[in-house]
């Protein structure tokens, strides 16, 4: 925090953008120059573990700074469909420090190897009801469990994947209320109401082919220890259940509209505002009561109990939903009317003061 000559105090913050590494040269529309040499496997794995890599970056940054740096960020896709992170960080951090933290940040994925395909097509393992696991259809051999496959990883083995950020990043100092601050807020919020794949609509055959190739690379990539794709490589997924089919995992990361990213789109530290969720709810409630000109309710006036179908005032679900919608519409109308009266009252006071 510093004080300007006019006596105003400022606390600078910074806007940081982190991206994944390059998987091959791309055109301006994000499509690869040479699709055959573009590393779709590494792109898929980086997208799957991008959330864990982001968490590791925050941990490393806080360790270097020596305090719990507060942040608010959003994950969105680039034109090449790789995820990247926009993050507002409270306080200014020197760019050399950011560069060093990025270089030192990585996420190792110590999962079993997936180099050899053991089951494919119609040759799939079957579920054993008695053992509660999967067996080889022809030999009857019990497949190794997830924990057994992890224990088989030796001291000389390499991690299945290592996720890193790209060397290029963008860091800008920002002051609250400035034009740059508004621009940064726009970058962090413009895609929050869309699916990841909806942020960039493919308009050409090349863009559609690029999205299809990425989806195909994600099809058999295990997204978690519980992913059905582990059966393809001869491993029983964690917490296995009957009916699992490789290539048909219902995990969020495998859906084309998510481009491999299954983490949260909005990232925020719990101490960004210095208040808990209970504090925010209390402030919002007090603001609404004051805006509507109501008296604070007395909690002792009400008693709560669970309504059962045997009660005379029990309503079916569809009627309850209609009541909720009607109440919400009524509250919204009352709040809009109270805001209108407040604006008119403020305008009248301002005009009177100016005339005086």
How many CA atoms are closer than 13 Å to the CA of 315, on its beta-carbon side? 8
Q: What rounded mean pLDDT belongs to the chain? A: 86
Q: Is 39 a domain residue?
A: yes
Q: Is 82 a domain residue?
A: yes
Same domain, 195 and 75: yes
Same domain, 299 and 255: no
pLDDT value at position 178?
73
**Where does the pLDDT of residue 11 fall: very low under 50, low under 70, confident under 90, or very high at 90 and above?**
low
pLDDT value at position 32?
95
Same domain, 196 and 289: no
Q: How far apart are CA 76 and CA 85, in angstroms?
A: 7
Total domains in the chain come to 2
Same domain, 13 and 96: yes
Q: Is 154 a domain residue?
A: no
Average pLDDT over residues 346-351: 51
pLDDT digits (tens, 9 = 90+) for 72-113: 888 888 889 999 999 988 888 899 999 999 999 999 999 999
The percentage of the chain sitting over the pLDDT mark of 70, rounded to a whole number, equals: 90
**Where does the pLDDT of residue 350 fall: very low under 50, low under 70, confident under 90, or very high at 90 and above?**
very low
* Per-residue tokens: 189: 């919020």
pLDDT digits (tens, 9 = 90+) for 249-270: 999 899 888 889 988 888 888 7
146 has pLDDT over 80: yes
Q: Is 58 a domain residue?
A: yes
pLDDT value at position 353?
44
Same domain, 341 and 198: no
pLDDT digits (tens, 9 = 90+) for 203-249: 899 999 999 999 999 999 999 999 999 999 999 999 999 999 999 99
pLDDT digits (tens, 9 = 90+) for 275-299: 777 887 888 888 888 888 888 878 7
Domain boundary among 268, 298, 320: 268
pLDDT value at position 193?
66
Same domain, 286 and 215: no
* Per-residue tokens: 4: 């300007």
pLDDT value at position 104?
95
DSSP state at residue 214: H
CB 15, CB 91: distance < 8 Å: no
349 has pLDDT over 60: no
Other CB atoms closer than 10 Å to residue 295's CB: what's the count?
6
49 has pLDDT over 90: yes
Q: How far is CA 64 from the centre of its chain?
A: 25
pLDDT digits (tens, 9 = 90+) for 168-216: 898 888 877 677 777 777 777 776 766 666 777 888 999 999 999 999 9
Same domain, 200 and 104: yes
Domain boundary among 206, 238, 268: 268
Domain boundary among 211, 238, 268: 268
* Per-residue tokens: 193: 């109401």
- Name residue, tokens 């080889």: 136
Same domain, 188 and 69: yes
Domain that holds residue 203: 2-113+162-224+248-268
Same domain, 263 and 310: no
Q: How far apart are CA 261 and CA 54, in angstroms?
A: 12
147 has pLDDT over 90: yes
Q: Is 123 a domain residue?
A: no
pLDDT digits (tens, 9 = 90+) for 300-313: 888 888 888 888 88
Q: Is 200 a domain residue?
A: yes
pLDDT value at position 241?
92
Q: Is 236 a domain residue?
A: no
Same domain, 288 and 262: no
18 has pLDDT over 90: yes
Same domain, 185 and 325: no
Same domain, 173 and 255: yes
Q: Is 328 a domain residue?
A: yes
**Where does the pLDDT of residue 27 fall: very low under 50, low under 70, confident under 90, or very high at 90 and above?**
very high
Nearest-Å Rg of the Cα atoms of the chain is 27
């Amino acid at each position: 925090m510093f004080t300007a000559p006019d006596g105003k105090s400022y606390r600078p913050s910074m806007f940081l953008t982190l991206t994944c590494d390059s998987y091959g040269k791309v055109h301006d529309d994000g499509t690869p120059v040479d699709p055959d040499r573009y590393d779709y496997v590494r792109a898929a794995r980086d997208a799957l573990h991008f959330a864990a890599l982001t968490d590791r970056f925050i941990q490393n940054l806080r360790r270097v700074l020596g305090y719990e740096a507060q942040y608010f960020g959003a994950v969105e896709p680039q034109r090449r469909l790789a995820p990247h992170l926009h993050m507002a960080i409270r306080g200014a951090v020197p760019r050399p420090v950011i560069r060093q933290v990025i270089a030192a940040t990585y996420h190792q994925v110590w999962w079993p190897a997936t180099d050899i395909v053991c089951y494919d097509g119609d040759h799939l393992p079957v579920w054993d009801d008695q053992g509660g696991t999967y067996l080889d259809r022809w030999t009857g051999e019990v497949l190794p469990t997830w924990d057994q496959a992890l224990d088989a990883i030796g001291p000389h083995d390499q991690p299945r994947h290592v996720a890193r950020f790209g060397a290029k990043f963008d860091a800008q100092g920002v002051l609250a209320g400035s034009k740059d601050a508004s621009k940064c807020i726009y970058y962090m919020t413009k895609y929050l109401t869309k699916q990841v794949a909806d942020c960039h609509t493919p308009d050409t055959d090349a863009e559609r082919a690029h999205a299809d190739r990425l989806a195909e690379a994600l099809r058999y990539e295990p997204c978690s220890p519980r992913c059905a794709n582990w059966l393809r490589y001869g491993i029983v997924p964690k917490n296995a259940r009957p009916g699992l089919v490789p290539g048909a995992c219902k995990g969020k990361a495998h859906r084309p509209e998510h481009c491999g990213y299954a983490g949260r789109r909005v990232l925020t530290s719990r101490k960004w505002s210095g208040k808990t969720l209970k504090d925010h709810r209390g402030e919002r409630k007090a603001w609404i009561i004051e805006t509507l000109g109501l008296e604070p309710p007395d909690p002792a006036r009400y008693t709560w109990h669970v309504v059962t179908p045997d009660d005379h005032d029990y309503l079916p679900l569809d009627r309850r939903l209609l009541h909720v919608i009607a109440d919400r519409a009524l509250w919204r109308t009352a709040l809009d009317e109270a805001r209108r009266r407040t604006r008119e009252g403020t305008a009248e006071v301002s005009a009177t003061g100016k005339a005086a």
